[in-house]
Amino acid sequence: MLCQAAEQRWGSEYVRALGVFWSGQPRLPWRRLLPAVAGIALLVALLGLVGRADDHIALFLGFAPSCLLVFVLPEAPVSQPAAVIGGSVVSAVVGVIAAYTLPFTWWSAALAAAVATVAMAALRIIHPPAVAVAVIALSTGADWMFLLLPALAAPVLIVVTALVWHRLSGIRYPAPGMLGSGRVERHPRED
């Protein structure tokens, strides 16, 4: 409706050029958004409590976006437990190997991000925030302990908290059709 009014006033070419700035995402209902925001705040606080003070920035950059996905888009394939945990661990492995073999530069960070993406895609566990985990591991010179804390512990904490939170809020997580066959049968829709 807003697009039609704008087209009548300014012309369709101008409005189509601006269309890049208008989101096609549906509006989340408040009854779903408010519990999601509370869950994100809880999880980021828990991550802050488990992490060491010297690695809070890396912890938040690598895993706070995962909190958003599992709470706001729990039905998305990238938000499912296998993707959250597997994507983070695989990306951490890539980042740690890169930290042992490459200097930290712009090109090595780009290479680590690219290899982590290919590895997640090949294993069908794509989790976009996990790309940051590979770059963080490289940039901090992480050793193999990084694979346990935070690369495994943080996403497990995120998934377990999301499982409990969504069970209490009545949202199905993991999404139906996401487990077992590896194929998405259907995406549940909010009424």
Identify the band that residue 18 occupies on the pLDDT scale cut at 50, 70 and 90.
low
Cα dihedral: 69, 72, 77, 83 (round 10): 30
pLDDT > 80? residue 1: no
Cα dihedral: 144, 146, 147, 152 (round 10): 160
Res 49: pLDDT: 83
Res 173: pLDDT: 94
pLDDT > 50? residue 160: yes
Rounded CA Rg of the chain: 19
Contact 44, 60 (CB under 8 A): yes
Contact 89, 98 (CB under 8 A): no
Total residues found in the chain within this entry: 191
pLDDT > 80? residue 11: no
Identify the band that residue 8 occupies on the pLDDT scale cut at 50, 70 and 90.
low
pLDDT > 90? residue 80: yes
> 2-6, 27-31, 122-126, 176-180: which range is least confident on average?
2-6
Res 102: pLDDT: 98
pLDDT > 90? residue 51: no
Mean per-residue pLDDT for 163-183? 79
Mean per-residue pLDDT for 17-45? 81
pLDDT > 70? residue 53: no
Res 181: pLDDT: 45
CA 2 to chain centre: 31
First-to-last alpha carbon distance for the chain, in angstroms, is 22
Output the pTM of the full model: 0.81
Between CA 127 and CA 138 the distance in angstroms is 18
Query: What percentage of the chain exceeds 90 in pLDDT?
Result: 60
Tokens coding 123: 């294993």
Looking at every residue in the chain, the average pLDDT score rounds to 85
> 45-54, 65-74, 119-128: which range is least confident on average?
45-54
Question: Per DSSP, which regions of the chain are E strands?
Answer: none
Res 31: pLDDT: 87
Query: What percentage of the chain exceeds 70 in pLDDT?
Result: 78
Tokens coding 67: 């909190």
